[in-house]
Amino acid sequence: MPNNDAHQQARKLIALSGAEILSANQLSDQQSSNAWLAAHLETCASCRTFAENAADTIHGLRAIPIAAGRGLVSTTQIRVRRRALELQRQRERMWLVAVSCTAVTLCALLSTVAFWLGFAWLGARAQLASSVWQVGFLVFCVMPALVAAILLLAKAKDQG
């Protein structure tokens, strides 16, 4: 019975003091309970095994969060960096699209004005009624869209 109490006391001390109990050479120098525990561990194999297991478990438990923490940090950093790159590329694409749209719109406007002026000039030169060259201008403007529509229809027919 007192022997049993000693084991329990030893295991309680091991549980309270954690992993340091095995690694420390200072056992005998510290508190009397530590000295007693050291003495007990010297003589008791089962308590020594218990202490070793406890130390291993504590080491393991301490290593896991550190590993997980580092892994999590690096994957999070990679993800954040990747997302930032993605956003940057998206912004660049959007900028390119905006510039292209603006350029196309400007070109269309300028060429429409130029063709309008050209048709007016030709109409005046040929002494046509303004309605005539204006209809000509409309047909000329609509023609590319008509041609494109006809081509698309022909292509759809070929594929179908």
* Of 12, 11, 23, 13, the residue nearest 56 (C-alpha): 23
Nearer to Zn ion by Cβ, of 8 and 77: the residue is 8
Name the residue nearer to Zn ion (CB basis): 44 or 120: 44
Q: Of these, 44, 58, 120, 141, which contacts Zn ion (CB under 5 A)? A: 44
Nearer to Zn ion, 9 or 134 (CB): 9
Measured between alpha carbons, how far is 40 from 57 in angstroms, rounded to an integer? Answer: 21
Helix (H, G, I), strand (E, B) or coil at 127: coil
In which element (H, E) is residue 25 found? none
The nearest distance, CB 13 to Zn ion, in angstroms, is 11
3-state per-residue secondary structure call for 57-72: HHHHHHHHHHHHHHHH
| Residue 47 found at the interface with Zn ion (CB under 5 A) | yes
> Does the footprint of Zn ion cover residue 50 (CB under 5 A)?
no
According to the binding rule CB under 5 A, does residue 7 interact with Zn ion? yes
Pure H helices in the chain: 2-17, 20-23, 32-43, 45-125, 130-159
Q: Which stretch binds Zn ion (CB under 5 A): 39-47, 53-61, 136-144, 148-156?
A: 39-47
| Identity of the residue, 20 or 42, whose beta carbon is nearer to Zn ion in the bound complex | 42
The residue ranges that bind Zn ion (CB under 5 A) are 7, 10, 44, 47
